[in-house]
């Protein structure tokens, strides 16, 4: 049913400038016969903008479902008209905490302690609270059973900024059952679980929630993979992010980095990785390098050079011991901005490596226009050395090209002695791969770091 109103995702984006679209879409949702309360609970972020957009707030005011928003402390910042009707009184912006009704009672009729209000729990534990039945007591003493659906709201960096609550009147049990089932994501005809697109979206949201917790709780750890000169001397390590998920086991960075990029968490994740890697390397007795992968999205804000400078300052790591690995995507999307950021980073003394070279656009113009110090030959070429003639030709050409431009060349994904021999013969500067050392906890390489 949700597909009936195509493009609803726009609600989650471009807010609040897309306010006009939002009303149209809300109307479409209602017309498509979609349960509005389920819709709101699934996309609270879209509605959260109401707190800052008076015009949209007036639209929300027409909704038949009670919706209110608080700041991170639980102080009321917005409520719609249905909320006032539900509560039987005019809620007080800035004064009401966690709830808008006169008093909250448990299902059994006993008063709830304020810190047990569902919104208080949602904000304290930074998680949505679902399936709790409570009673609202109105000033006139009447009571109404209802289900609150509080959902914490986060900004792009993963910081808790407030809470969104939707109150579902369940006094008309029969009437409410379908809506509750949908909100609880149980199987209900036309409910959220019946919609594969929404099930996928829910999974993504769950993953993002866990990822946000993992970043905040320091559960994203780093492993280190050594890089060697051809004479066998270790030069440094590449830091690779690892996430041990509470139920799904270890999740590959190839999965969670794109999720973090899509979910607005990459800045927080990138800062955590950078800080951890620099701190770790600063503790090594030998002045070895550490390479950190940087997402193209980290270049979208202008903060990257300032962050790097602050982290170097804070950890005391020599700038020339830090290498940032970027991909061609950085240079393709906004070349001028990338150039400005990379120049600032080079001016700090930080090294810049172009990762996965050969897989993307591989435009030669990047190589001399941008201030690169290192080129990393993608492991797909190394893997086919000895298998296809082209791989040898391309690898040889990349090494020569790098050297002609005064850029150091690293081959990644070296798995066999034959590959290593070829790279040594061709004059590749550094090698990295399972043959020489897998990514492991830093402690496993203590004999190399000193
Ligand atoms: P990458 O930067 O190209 O990292 C090299 C990947 O190749 C790593 O995969 C590494 O474990 C793997 N590898 C190393 N040696 C060998 C080998 O001999 N054979 C094979 N088959 N694989 C080898 P990993 O750790 O799964 O990381 C995948 C990608 O995720 C990385 O590719 C990088 O693009 C990204 N990534 C990892 N950590 C971070 C991070 O902290 N931030 C960002 N933005 N991206 C990261
Ligand atoms: Mg890399
Ligand atoms: Mg790579």
Task: Give the pLDDT of residue 347.
Answer: 97
Which ligand sits nearest to residue 378's alpha carbon?
3
Report the pLDDT value the prediction gives residue 22, as an integer from 0 to 100. Answer: 54
Ligand 3 centroid – CA 200 distance (Å) = 29
| Span 2-194 CATH architecture | 2-Layer Sandwich (3.30)
Smallest-distance ligand from the CA of 273: 1
d(CA 338, CA 267): 16
Using a 6 Å CB cutoff, which residues line ligand 1?
225, 240-241, 252-254, 257, 273, 293-295, 325, 355-356, 379, 412-415, 433-434, 439
pLDDT value at residue 62: 75
Paired sense of beta strands 220-229 and 234-245, if any? antiparallel
Identify the residue with better confidence: 29 or 386: 386
| Cis omega (within 30 of 0) for bond into 284 | no
SS (H, E, C) the chain: CHHHCCCHHHHHCCCCCCHHHHHHHHHHHHHCCCCHHHHHHHCHHHHHHHHHCHHHHHHHCCCCCEEEEEECCCEEEEECHHHHHHHCCCCCCCCCECCCCCEEEECCCCECCHHHCHHHHHHHHCCCCCCCCEEEECCCCCEEEEEECCEEEECCCCCEEEEEEEEEECCCHHHHHHHHHHHCCCCCCCCHHHCHHHHHHHHHHHHHHHHHHHHHCCCEEEEEEEEEECCCCEEEEEEEEEEEECCCEEECHHHHHHHHHHCCCHHHHHHHHHHHHHHHHHCCCCCCEEEEECCHHHHCCCCHHHHHHHHHHHHCCCHHHEEEEECHHHHHHCHHHHHHHHHHHHHHCCEEEEEEECCCCCCHHHHHHCCCCEEEECHHHHHCECCEHHHHHHHHHHHHHHHHCCCEEEECCCCCHHHHHHHHHCCCCEECCCCCCCCECHHHHHHHHC
Question: Which range (158-172, 176-190, 304-318) has the least confidence?
Answer: 176-190
Min mean pLDDT across 30-44, 220-234, 343-357, 428-442 is at 30-44
pLDDT of residue 430: 98
Please give the biggest Cα pair distance in the chain.
Answer: 88
Which residue is it, tokens 């980290």?
Answer: 298
**Cβ neighbours for 202, distance < 8 A, ≥ 6 positions apart:** 42, 185, 192
Among the bound ligands, name the one nearest to the CA of residue 434: 1
Q: How far is CA 105 from CA 127, 130, 148, 173, 180, in A?
A: 22, 17, 12, 18, 19
CB 208 within 8 A of CB 152: no
Angle between helices 266-282 and 253-262 (to 10 degrees): 130
Select from 219, 223, 239, 240 the residue to mutate for testing ligand 1; criterion: most ligand atoms less than 8 Å from CB. 240
Taking the CA of residue 294 as reference, the ligand 1 atom at the shortest distance is: 44
* 136 close to 143: Cβ distance less than 8 angstroms: yes
Given a contact cutoff of 8 angstroms between Cβ atoms, the answer to whether 65 and 166 are in contact is yes
Q: Token match 């794109």: residue? A: 258
pLDDT above 90: residue 166: no
* Top-confidence residue, 380 or 48: 380
In this predicted structure, the answer to whether residue 193 has a pLDDT above a threshold of 50 is no
CB 161 within 8 A of CB 151: no
Average pLDDT, the chain: 83
pLDDT at 190: 39
Report the C-alpha gap between 427 and 253 in whole angstroms.
Answer: 31
Q: Per CATH, the architecture of 204-449 is what?
A: Alpha-Beta Barrel (3.20)
Work out the average pLDDT over 95-117.
93
Show the tokens assigned to 422: 């070829």
β partners of residue 224? 239, 440
Q: How far apart are CA 180 and CA 186, in angstroms?
A: 9
Top pLDDT among 123 and 53 is at 123
Find the range with the poorest average confidence among 244-248, 279-283, 286-290: 244-248
Residues 419 and 391 sit within 8 Å (Cβ to Cβ): no
Predicted local distance difference test score (pLDDT) of residue 154:
77
**Distance between CA 83 and CA 145 in Å, rounded?**
14
pLDDT exceeds cutoff 90 at 292: yes
Q: Find the ligand nearest to 269 CA.
A: 1
pLDDT at 9: 36
Residue with tokens 């061609």: 328
* Domain range annotation of the chain: 2-194, 204-449
Mean pLDDT computed over 288-314:
94
pLDDT at 227 over 60: yes
pLDDT of residue 415: 95
Ligand 1 pocket test: pick from 293, 374, 381, 419 the residue with the most ligand atoms within 8 Å of its Cβ: 293
Q: Note the pTM of the prediction, 2 decimals.
A: 0.64
Whether 2-194 shares its CATH topology with 204-449 is answered no
> Which pair of structure tokens corresponds to residue 59?
């639209």
* pLDDT of 129 strictly over 90: no
Distance of alpha carbon 162 from alpha carbon 75, whole angstroms: 9
Beta-carbon contacts of 351 under 8 Å, excluding residues fewer than 6 positions away, are: 289, 320, 322, 323, 324, 373, 374
Indicate which residue's Cα is closest to atom 3 of ligand 1.
356
Least confident of 75-84, 115-124, 194-203, 358-367: 194-203
- The model's confidence at residue 408, banded by pLDDT at 50, 70 and 90, is very high
Lowest-confidence segment of 248-257, 308-317, 344-353, 418-427 by average pLDDT: 248-257
Range of lowest pLDDT (24-28, 36-40, 202-206, 435-439): 24-28
Residue 197: is its pLDDT beyond 90? no
Per-residue pLDDT averaged across 338-348, rounded?
A: 95
Q: What are 123's two structure tokens?
A: 């904000």
Task: Give the mean model confidence (pLDDT) for residues 429-436.
Answer: 97
Ligand 1 nearest atom to the CA of residue 223, by list position:
25
- Per-residue pLDDT averaged across 170-178, rounded? 68
The torsion angles phi and psi of 17, rounded to 5 degrees, stand at -60, -25
Question: Which range has the top average pLDDT, 13-22, 353-362, 388-397?
Answer: 388-397
Res 113: pLDDT: 94
Predicted confidence band of residue 192 (pLDDT cuts 50, 70, 90): very low
Confidence of residue 218 (pLDDT cuts 50, 70, 90): confident
Q: What is the pLDDT of residue 127?
A: 82
pLDDT of residue 367: 81
Is the pLDDT at 319 greater than 60? The verdict is yes
Mean pLDDT of 49-76: 76
Q: Of 250, 275, 358, 412, which is best to mutate to test ligand 1, by the most ligand atoms within 8 angstroms of its C-beta? A: 412
More confident position, 205 or 420: 420
């Amino acid at each position: 049913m949700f597909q009936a109103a195509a493009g609803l995702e726009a609600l989650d984006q471009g807010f609040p400038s897309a306010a006009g679209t939002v009303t149209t879409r809300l109307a479409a949702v209602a017309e498509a016969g979609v349960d509005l309360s389920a819709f709101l609970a699934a996309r609270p972020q879209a509605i959260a903008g109401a707190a800052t957009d008076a015009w949209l707030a007036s639209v929300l005011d027409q909704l038949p479902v009670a919706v209110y928003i608080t700041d991170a402390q639980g102080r009321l910042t917005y409520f719609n008209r249905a909320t006032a009707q539900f509560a039987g009184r005019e809620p007080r912006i800035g004064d009401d905490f966690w709830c808008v009704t006169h008093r909250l009672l448990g299902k059994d009729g006993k008063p709830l302690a304020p810190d047990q209000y569902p919104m208080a729990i949602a904000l304290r534990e930074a998680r949505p609270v679902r399936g709790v039945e409570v009673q609202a007591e109105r000033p006139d003493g009447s009571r109404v059973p209802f289900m609150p659906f509080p959902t914490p709201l986060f900004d792009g960096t993963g910081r808790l900024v407030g809470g969104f609550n939707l109150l579902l009147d369940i006094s008309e049990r029969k009437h409410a059952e379908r809506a509750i089932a949908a909100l609880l994501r149980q199987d209900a005809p036309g409910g959220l679980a019946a919609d594969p697109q929404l099930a996928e979206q829910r999974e993504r949201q769950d993953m993002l929630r866990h990822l946000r917790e993992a970043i905040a709780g320091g559960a994203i750890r780093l492993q280190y993979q050594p890089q060697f000169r051809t004479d066998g001397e270790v030069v440094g390590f590449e830091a690779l992010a690892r996430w041990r998920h509470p139920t799904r086991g270890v999740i590959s960075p190839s999965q969670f980095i794109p999720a973090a990029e899509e979910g607005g968490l990459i800045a927080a994740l990138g800062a955590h990785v950078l800080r951890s890697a620099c701190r770790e390397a600063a503790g090594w007795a030998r002045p070895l390098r550490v390479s950190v992968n940087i997402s193209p999205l980290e270049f979208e804000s202008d903060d990257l050079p300032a962050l790097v400078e602050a982290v170097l300052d804070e950890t005391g790591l020599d700038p020339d011991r830090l290498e940032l690995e970027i991909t061609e995507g950085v240079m393709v999307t906004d070349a001028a901005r990338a150039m400005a950021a990379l120049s600032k980073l080079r001016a700090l003394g930080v090294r810049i490596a172009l990762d996965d070279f050969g897989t993307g656009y591989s435009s030669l113009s990047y190589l001399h226009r941008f201030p690169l110090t290192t080129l990393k030959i993608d492991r797909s070429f190394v893997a086919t050395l000895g298998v296809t003639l082209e791989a040898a030709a391309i690898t040889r050409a990349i090494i020569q090209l790098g050297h002609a431009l005064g850029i150091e060349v690293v081959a990644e994904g070296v798995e066999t002695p034959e590959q290593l021999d070829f790279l040594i013969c061709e004059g590749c500067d550094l090698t990295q791969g399972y043959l020489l050392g897998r990514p492991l906890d830093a402690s496993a390489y203590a004999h190399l770091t000193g």
